[in-house]
Amino acid sequence: MTISVDPKLEMEYFKVDLEIKENKNFTFVNVPPFSSTLTPDDLDHTVQNEEVNIEYLEDAGHCKISYFKEANADGKVKSPGPFVLRYDVDREGKQGEILLLDGHFVHFLSAEKEKYNPAVFPKHAIFVLDSSASMWGSKLKQLQVAMSQILRQLSRQDVFSIVTFGNKATEWYMQGLQPSLGKGVYAVNRRNVADAMDFISRMQATGGTNIQAGLRRALYLAAKYRNIPLIPGVSEGANYTTPRPEAKKEVETLLMFLSDGIPTAGEIRLSKLLKSVHFVNTNVKASIFALAFGPTANYGFLRRMALQNYGFSRRIYESSDTAIQLQSFFQEITSPLLKNVTFTYLDNKVNFSSLTLREFPILFSGSEVVVAGKLNDDFEPEDQDDELIGSFSAQGTVLRVSNNITVPTEAIITANKTQVPTRKRRRYGVLEKIWAQLTIRQLLDNYLIEDFGDESTENKESDAADSQKLEDNNQQRALELALKYGFVTPLTSLIMVSEKKPLVVINSENLENDLKQPDQIHFSDKAGNGYFFILMLIFSF
């Protein structure tokens, strides 16, 4: 978990007091030194802020963190920078940790080599890098710095490829070798990495942005290396490779795609481009991780592409710490540990229709997945210890992982009655809100993933109507949950008011309409000249 505090205001004093209580022992508690940008220390949990006091109490998983800064001579103090707290706990047992409260459960599972898999899957890392003219200057330099570090982090059991794209795609070949389409896959060793770093250092930003060409070339490389057909059912030709006995099907293909713009060459229609990439990736099943570099990148498009292709997306901000942002991202995906992860729960214990996402194509070492849902009304785990509630299965490099999911009595959380507010409104339990947040995020992801009909389908109009109906259902359900539980999403608004003068009052008679049209909020003038501002916050749901 990471908590960040940065008021960015002048204050009379700056004080932070935090208390953490967990059921498990801490593996680390870390507050890194204050910095407005990322530094290499931010990737190291052992580097502590010496101005911050961390007190470990006698109870397991219990500590207090404190920081205080007094005002200077003029009576004011500026924020020292983001106050970031990071910690993790010891997760014993292969079934993960499961918690129950008020008819809901949340199941946490962390991917750790020591528990599940002594060796990570070998991977084919394909770097698809934008070399169009918009990357000229500091962007390209920061990318080159980051790639020089990332290439050094590759494991010797891996192979890697580099594809750059401007007006067309270019595949990196070792110096002195005859270029041959689909042959640009190399083992990780000192010579190959050095040659790749030299190639990266000589990259030039020029031309348009042909995203389709870059991705198709990368997926062709993946199919060629694994000796599988790129497109099922296509006869021998440019888009097909003949399977051989030594087919490397257990290699995980990870495609790291970085772009700072939108397509300007090749296929430029985003919907067509998404369908094309998803179709070509049908057989390869590469995990595409999309990095939106800078403010001009179309993050919505890249996020949708990643979700449709077994990956996820990140924003990379253009600043002095860009190279470290890129390195930090690669560390997240460097060690594929488990694949085809599936959680199965018993129908007589759990409300099946309430479950959040429970199937995950791949888990990386150090990552964590969360499944939440509602318990059946007649479920009473207090009656016996370690009650069976379901099972968990996954595929490792050597063996298949399979474990029962049981509920120990200590997993049942008792609500603290003293914390219930006296105001007459519904108070939702913490596990119920976790369930709601996960459900909203996945409904919005499903909205992005859904296609709006397939032009090659005979019943095109019917398919488009069905897709539109599903899209509307996802949006409506997400909106209802967001309003019920008070979450800010792309479908809702957040109103913040300054207290320097009397508060601005929202007209209650217009509230329902305001929630439907957040860009047309109605305010009352009864509060005089109160200061106010509206923030439209887009959370990464």
**Does pLDDT of 530 surpass 50?**
no
**Helix/strand/coil for 277:** helix
- DSSP states of 349-412 as a string? TEEGGG----EEEEEETT-EEEEEEEEPTT--GGGSSSEEEEEEEEE-SSSEEEEEEEE-GGGB
pLDDT at position 83 is: 78
316 in the same domain as 187: yes
Under a CB-based contact definition with an 8 Å cutoff, are residues 141 and 268 in contact?
Answer: no
- Return all residues near 49 (Cβ < 8 A) that are at least 6 apart: 31, 32, 33, 34, 67
The average confidence (pLDDT) of the chain is: 73
pLDDT at position 6 is: 62
Q: Do the strands 350-351 and 313-316 form a parallel or antiparallel pair, or are they unpaired?
A: unpaired
Of 237, 222, 225, nearest in space to 280 by CA? 222
Give CA–CA dist 433/314, Å, rounded.
25
Residue 95's pLDDT band (cuts 50, 70, 90): low
| CATH code: domain of residue 357 | 2.60.40
Query: Quick one: tokens of 492?
Result: 């809702």
Query: Quick one: tokens of 18?
Result: 């935090």
189 in the same domain as 111: no
| CATH code: domain of residue 156 | 3.40.50.410
| Domain range for 516 | 494-535
**Does pLDDT of 483 surpass 80?**
yes
Residue 113's pLDDT band (cuts 50, 70, 90): low
**Helix/strand/coil for 1:** coil
| Residue 506: DSSP 8-state | B
**Lowest mean pLDDT across 10-24, 38-52, 145-159:** 38-52
**Lowest mean pLDDT across 181-185, 436-440, 518-522:** 518-522
In sign, the C-alpha dihedral spanning 298, 299, 304, 307 is positive
CA angle 180-186-189, nearest 5°? 145
- Residue owning tokens 């209802």: 480
Under a CB-based contact definition with an 8 Å cutoff, are residues 532 and 498 in contact?
Answer: yes
- Residue owning tokens 């000192």: 190
- For the ranges 55-64, 120-129, 246-255, the maximum mean pLDDT occurs at 120-129
Where is the domain boundary, 485, 503, 522? Answer: 485
Residue 541 lies in a domain: no
pLDDT at position 369 is: 86
Main-chain dihedrals φ then ψ at residue 42, nearest 5 degrees: -70, -15
Under a CB-based contact definition with an 8 Å cutoff, are residues 330 and 153 in contact?
Answer: yes
Q: Do the strands 104-110 and 186-187 form a parallel or antiparallel pair, or are they unpaired?
A: unpaired
| Assessment of whether the complete model's pTM goes beyond 0.85 | no
Alpha-carbon distances, residue 310 vs 159, 260, 353, 405 (angstroms): 20, 21, 23, 26
**Does pLDDT of 422 surpass 50?**
no
Give CA–CA dist 24/92, Å, rounded.
9
pLDDT at position 42 is: 56
Residue 459 lies in a domain: yes
pLDDT tens-digit readout, 148-157:
888 888 888 8
Give CA–CA dist 406/404, Å, rounded.
6
How far does CA 250 lie from the centroid of its chain?
24
Buried/exposed code over 137-152 (b: 16+ C-beta within 10 A; e: otherwise)? eebbbbbbbbbbebbe
Give CA–CA dist 167/206, Å, rounded.
8
373 in the same domain as 325: no
164 in the same domain as 295: yes
Mean pLDDT of 83-88: 82
How far does CA 239 lie from the centroid of its chain?
32
How many domains, the chain? 5
453 in the same domain as 406: no
**Does pLDDT of 524 surpass 60?**
no
512 in the same domain as 439: no
How far does CA 220 lie from the centroid of its chain?
26
pLDDT tens-digit readout, 182-220:
578 899 999 999 999 999 999 888 889 899 999 999 999
pLDDT at position 456 is: 36
Residue 447 lies in a domain: yes
Residue 52 lies in a domain: yes
pLDDT tens-digit readout, 359-403:
888 888 878 888 999 988 877 765 545 556 677 677 665 445 555
Q: For the beta carbon of residue 538, count every other beta carbon within 10 angstroms.
A: 10
**Helix/strand/coil for 294:** coil
pLDDT at position 248 is: 58
Under a CB-based contact definition with an 8 Å cutoff, are residues 126 and 189 in contact?
Answer: no
Q: Which H helix or E strand runs over 18?
A: strand 14-21
pLDDT at position 387 is: 58
**Helix/strand/coil for 85:** strand
Residue 540 lies in a domain: no
148 in the same domain as 205: yes
186 in the same domain as 293: yes
Q: Where are the alpha helices (DSSP H) in 14-157?
A: 113-116, 138-152
Give CA–CA dist 223/247, Å, rounded.
10
pLDDT tens-digit readout, 310-346:
888 888 887 767 778 888 888 888 888 888 888 888 8
DSSP helix, strand, coil percent of the chain (3-state; round to 5): 30, 25, 45
Q: State what percent of residues in the chain have pLDDT above 90.
A: 11
Under a CB-based contact definition with an 8 Å cutoff, are residues 303 and 539 in contact?
Answer: no
Under a CB-based contact definition with an 8 Å cutoff, are residues 257 and 288 in contact?
Answer: yes
254 in the same domain as 127: yes
Give CA–CA dist 97/89, Å, rounded.
11
61 in the same domain as 160: no
Burial bucket for residue 221 (CB in 10 Å: 0-12, 13-18, 19+) = buried
pLDDT tens-digit readout, 135-180:
888 888 888 888 888 888 888 888 999 999 999 998 898 765 555 5
Under a CB-based contact definition with an 8 Å cutoff, are residues 34 and 81 in contact?
Answer: yes
Query: Quick one: tokens of 42?
Result: 């931010």
Where is the domain boundary, 305, 334, 363? Answer: 334
Where is the domain boundary, 284, 304, 334? Answer: 334
474 in the same domain as 430: yes
Give CA–CA dist 295/304, Å, rounded.
17
Residue 401 lies in a domain: yes
304 in the same domain as 181: yes
**Does pLDDT of 441 surpass 60?**
yes
93 Rama sector, left if φ>0, alpha if ψ -120 to 50, beta otherwise: left
